Amino acid sequence: MTILLYDLVGTDRSRPFSPHCWKVAFALAHKGLAYESVPTPFTAVKGVEQGVCGTVPVIRDGERVVGDSFAIALYLEETYPDRPSLFGGEGGKAAARFIERWSQLTVHPFLGAAVLMDIHDRLDPADQAHFRTTREARFGKPIEEVPVGRDAGLDAFRAKLEPLRSMLSVQPFIGGETALFSDYIVASAFQWARVISPYPVLAADDPVAMWFERCLDLHSGLGRSVSAAA
Amino acid sequence: MTILLYDLVGTDRSRPFSPHCWKVAFALAHKGLAYESVPTPFTAVKGVEQGVCGTVPVIRDGERVVGDSFAIALYLEETYPDRPSLFGGEGGKAAARFIERWSQLTVHPFLGAAVLMDIHDRLDPADQAHFRTTREARFGKPIEEVPVGRDAGLDAFRAKLEPLRSMLSVQPFIGGETALFSDYIVASAFQWARVISPYPVLAADDPVAMWFERCLDLHSGLGRSVSAAA
């Protein structure tokens, strides 16, 4: 049975943008598993699969429902051990926890703030209201003010990527010669920005940008199945 | 034949302090390989094994001489595959490259500056002269001025450790349930500071400090074989 992926969308149902959902899309493709994306606006998230998770991504694989992107990756690795590994062994699985935290704490805060209004502007009215309420509570200011400092912070953000950039002089992927879930974790943050906003978060000649392009090429260009935001 | 580890020391030959040498000491212990530390002051580094490497650590394992801590770890993993793995598979090996870069770019700069004079003060006069010349060229100022901002920068440094700290709420080591080379990479930076300086780089109740204490307990307390600097 085809796996269902509940995938966050805005007004255009064909443009999923959640970084965490993209991690799962890449992971499913990596495992060679067919899946069907279930477009899910913000205000529908709570009701997904009777609300057992409360957030997306959620997958339904036959009788099994699994939420949380990392938990889904672990589920896929355990359930489909004969498919290409997402972690490359136990050491890679453990290290992916570090990379997930690095991405969430280093990459996400800037990107999330920089493209906040781009997200808002691409939502249905009911989702916009939900988004405004939850994000204004999180940021403590009107959402219009959140991306204001993005130009001033861009160089500092790019500098924070130096561990990844420096590593890329040794190997083409965080997974080594080929991509693993750790690559999808970080690439999905950049995919989030790419799909939702024309804001240029990376310089084109940045090795990080070139790595991201390689990630977009993977799995028959899965990442490019949604065009960059104009 | 016992492996030789050329190990950077100051005036007290029994207190090796180089973070990169400590990575190798931990790796050798992890593999259960007996080794002999060859105390090597700064000015002796260039002559180690006819200067084939130019830096320490260097190991001699029978006829093989290997330099660079990461290369040594790879050598040990390949040469002693039946011993406990340092990487936990290919994914862990690749991810260790990222963690090495993160440690070098996030942990080392603050620690290296904070304890610079502590290192200097624990060297022989000839090594002090070498150290002053090379470090003043690197920092572009008198070495006495380098640690001056450490108190002002301490909170920001501790904040930068958040990816590691956050990961430690999920698992006790970067390697997962047990330590791997990635743990030794980061722990050796803190060991460097611990062995050379009384400066309190971590708060005692920081989960990172507790992880470091666990690392010091490993391999019969190898890290504690050198006491904390007073």
Of A87, A91, A174, the CB nearest to B87: A91
- Return the CATH number at A181: 1.20.1050.10
List of chain B residues with pLDDT < 50: none
- Return the CATH number at B67: 3.40.30.10
Within 8 A of B91 by CB-CB distance, chain A residues are: 85, 87-89, 91-93, 95-96, 175-176, 180, 182
Do A54 and A12 lie in one domain? The reply is: yes
Q: Is residue A18, in this structure, part of any structural domain at all? A: yes
Q: What is the pLDDT of residue A86?
A: 98
Do B197 and B128 lie in one domain? The reply is: yes
A106·B163 Cβ contact <8 A: yes
Candidates B102, B160, B182, B183, partner chain A, best to mutate (most A CBs within 10 A) = B102
Q: Is residue B111, in this structure, part of any structural domain at all? A: yes
Domain boundary at A40, A58, A79, which? A79
Q: Is residue B230, in this structure, part of any structural domain at all? A: no
Determine the residue of chain B that is closest to A167 in CA distance.
Answer: B98
Do A115 and A219 lie in one domain? The reply is: yes
pLDDT per position as a tens digit, A130-187: 999 999 999 999 999 999 999 999 999 999 999 999 999 999 999 999 999 999 999 9
Q: What is the pLDDT along chain A (230 residues), one digit of tens a residue?
A: 799 999 999 999 999 999 999 999 999 999 999 999 999 999 999 999 999 899 999 999 999 999 999 999 999 999 999 999 999 999 999 999 999 999 999 999 999 999 999 999 999 999 999 999 999 999 999 999 999 999 999 999 999 999 999 999 999 999 999 999 999 999 999 999 999 999 999 999 999 999 999 999 999 999 999 999 99
B69 shares contact with chain A (CB less than 8 Å): no
Order across the sheet with A3-9: list the strands.
Answer: A35-41, A3-9, A58-61, A64-67
Q: What is the pLDDT of residue A164?
A: 98
Tally of residues, chain A: 230
Do A103 and A192 lie in one domain? The reply is: yes
Beta bridge partners of A64: A61
Within 8 A of B90 by CB-CB distance, chain A residues are: 88-89, 92, 176
Do B57 and B98 lie in one domain? The reply is: no
The SS3 of residue A121 is helix
Do A197 and A119 lie in one domain? The reply is: yes
Order across the sheet with B64-67: list the strands.
Answer: B35-41, B3-9, B58-61, B64-67
Q: Is residue A85, in this structure, part of any structural domain at all? A: no
Q: What is the pLDDT of residue A1?
A: 78
Do B136 and B210 lie in one domain? The reply is: yes
- Nearest Cα neighbor of B40 from B17, B7, B65 is B7
3-state SS track over B11-52: CCCCCCCCHHHHHHHHHHHHCCCCEEEEEEEHHHHHHHHHHC
3-state SS track over chain B: CCEEEEEEECCCCCCCCCHHHHHHHHHHHHCCCCEEEEEEEHHHHHHHHHHCCCCCCEEEECCEEEECHHHHHHHHHHHCCCCCCCCCCHHHHHHHHHHHHHHHHHHHHHHHHHCHHHHHHCCCHHHHHHHHHHHHHHHCCCHHHHHHHHHHHHHHHHHHCHHHHHHCCCCCECCECCCCHHHHHHHHHHHHHHHHCCCCCCCCCCHHHHHHHHHHHHHHHHHHHCCCCC
Q: What is the pLDDT of residue B32?
A: 98
Q: What is the pLDDT of residue B88?
A: 98
Do A97 and A206 lie in one domain? The reply is: yes
Domain boundary at B38, B58, B79, which? B79
Q: Is residue B84, in this structure, part of any structural domain at all? A: no
Could you tell me if A120 and A213 are in contact, meaning their C-beta atoms sit under 8 angstroms apart? no
Beta bridge partners of A39: A7
Range of the domain at B114: 90-223
Do A110 and A175 lie in one domain? The reply is: yes
Could you tell me if A108 and B166 are in contact, meaning their C-beta atoms sit under 8 angstroms apart? no
Do B94 and B70 lie in one domain? The reply is: no
Q: What is the pLDDT of residue B35?
A: 97
Q: Would you state the structure tokens that stand for residue A56, as one six-digit string?
A: 């997306």
B99 shares contact with chain A (CB less than 8 Å): yes
Do B57 and B95 lie in one domain? The reply is: no
Q: Would you state the structure tokens that stand for residue A168, as one six-digit string?
A: 């890329």
Of B94, B104, B163, the CB nearest to A105: B163
A96 shares contact with chain B (CB less than 8 Å): yes
ipTM computed for the complex? 0.97
Count of domains observed in chain A:
2
Q: Is residue B229, in this structure, part of any structural domain at all? A: no
Within 8 A of B105 by CB-CB distance, chain A residues are: 162-163, 166
Within 8 A of A175 by CB-CB distance, chain B residues are: 91, 94-95
B101·A180 Cβ contact <8 A: no
Domain boundary at A54, A79, A104, which? A79
pLDDT per position as a tens digit, B27-73: 999 999 999 999 999 999 999 999 999 999 999 999 999 999 999 99
Do A27 and A110 lie in one domain? The reply is: no
Q: Is residue B85, in this structure, part of any structural domain at all? A: no
Q: What is the pLDDT of residue B1?
A: 78
Q: Is residue A84, in this structure, part of any structural domain at all? A: no
